[in-house]
Amino acid sequence: MSVLAIGSGILPRLGEKLREAGLSGRVFLVSDDHVFPLWGDAALNGLRAGGFTVVSYQLPAGELTKSLAATYRLYDWLVEHRAERVDTIVALGGGVVGDVAGFVAATFLRGMPFVQVPTTVLAQVDSSIGGKVGVNHPKGKNLIGAFYPARLIVSDTDALRTLPRRDVAAGWAEAVKCGLILDAELFEVLDVNAAGLCDLTSSLVPAVVERCAQHKVRVVDEDEREADLRRILNYGHTIGQALEAALDYQVLLHGEAVSIGMAGAAAIAVRVGLLDPASAERQNAVLAHFGLPVRFPRDAPPPSVDTILERMARDKKSRESKLHWILLDRIGHARIASGISLDLVSEVVEGLL
């Protein structure tokens, strides 16, 4: 189980938090060339104040870094510095850095201690929690990876202030997802406070981040390897991740693709009689309040329906070659469904495009 430390202005205490988690040895800090210039010094100073010796590495920023080529560069760096099992890998950045550094931590020397220091909304509310680490394959997102939970997750919400507004909004998509599948009260809070959360002026930012994080910790504790309950966290991801892969991880941010995927999943739920149309409309309205898309943008050429369906067929969450869907039956509750006809899915995807 990961230890959570969430709040405003806690990055200077990073070394203290590692000590409290029982970590020692050297620290191998992995970041990217966008985040490190902003928060690298604060992280380095916080680690050194805790008595740690630190070396750092910067990956190129962006989804294309989630590759085996990037992991090999990190392996070479660790070998060069003679990293040992008692040392700790710390990931400073968003989901890409956390996924790549975590996969390296899981596999180098058959496992090194791993700490997440997420600096994006998406990573703080979702991707840094639960131990899913890995890289993309040209045929699909996150197809190569492991379950390797971080020993410690330190989320300083002050770091969110340097994000572009589009990235902030895309990150809140995962918080909206959390409310839709697990917490109707959280969904209401997000609806009422969308403007303040998007511009990060709301005093509720740390509380919302922590509430989402605690929900995910609870689900993962019950089902670490996604055998049953944890699968509901993939709401919106079946279409969303297929859309990302079909676009070669360009055009849309992850949260934007998931937002479109949630609109598609709600449309399917309505068509099969699980969800009332008013709830689907409410979901899409709240996503729109965050500036998130519920249809493919008109200013970019869309992929074909067939391409998206082909990507969905490769989904790592399929069972016995059958695609399972996460669908709402009401706001705040989701279920796993199968047997959704391909014709229905094709119609819904076409409508999204």
Helix, strand, coil percent values for the chain (each to nearest 5): 55, 15, 30
pLDDT (tens digit per residue) in 60-109: 998 889 999 999 999 999 999 999 999 999 999 999 999 999 999 999 99
Q: Cα(212)–Cα(183) distance, rounded to whole angstroms?
A: 9
End-to-end Cα separation, the chain, in angstroms: 40
Confidence of residue 143 (pLDDT cuts 50, 70, 90): confident
Confidence of residue 227 (pLDDT cuts 50, 70, 90): low
Residue listed under structure tokens 């990573």: 123
Q: Which amino acid is at 327?
A: L
Judged on CB neighbours under 10 Å (0-12, 13-18, 19+), 161 is: exposed
Q: Which helix (H) or strand (E) holds 261?
A: helix 254-271
Distance between CA atoms of 257 and 264, rounded to whole angstroms?
11
Over pLDDT 90: what percentage of the chain? Answer: 84
pLDDT for the residue numbered 34? 96
The model's pLDDT over 150-202, given as tens digits with 9 standing for 90+, comes to 999 999 999 999 999 999 999 999 999 999 999 999 999 999 999 999 999 99
Hey, what amino acid is at 61?
A
Domains along the sequence of the chain with CATH:
3-159 (3.40.50.1970), 165-352 (1.20.1090.10)
> Residue 30, CB half-sphere, CA atoms under 13 Å: how many?
30
Contact 232, 336 (CB under 8 A): yes
Measured at the CA of 5, the angle between CA 155 and CA 40, to 5 degrees, comes to 40
Structure tokens at 24: 């020692």
Per-residue pLDDT at 320: 46
Helix (H, G, I), strand (E, B) or coil at 324: coil
The answer to whether residue 321 scores a pLDDT higher than 70 is: no
Q: What is the dihedral of CA 212, 276, 188, 174, to 10 degrees?
A: 30
Question: What is the per-residue pLDDT across 230-242, written as a single tens digit (0 to 9) for each?
Answer: 899 999 999 999 9
Instruction: Count Cβ atoms below 10 Å from residue 4 Cβ, excluding itself.
Output: 19
Please state, rounded to an integer, the average pLDDT across all residues of the chain: 93
* Token couple for 281: 């409309």
pLDDT tens, position by position, 250-272: 899 999 999 999 999 999 999 99
**Lowest model confidence (mean pLDDT) among 66-75, 113-122, 321-330:** 321-330
> What DSSP character marks residue 301?
P
Q: What is the pLDDT of residues 7-30, one digit of tens each?
A: 999 999 999 999 999 999 999 999
Amino acid at 159: A
Beta-sheet strand order (sheet of 88-93): 3-7, 152-156, 114-118, 88-93, 27-32, 54-59
Average pLDDT over residues 119-140: 91
C-alpha–C-alpha distance, residues 346 and 150, integer Å: 38
Strands (E), 1-111: 3-7, 27-32, 54-59, 88-93
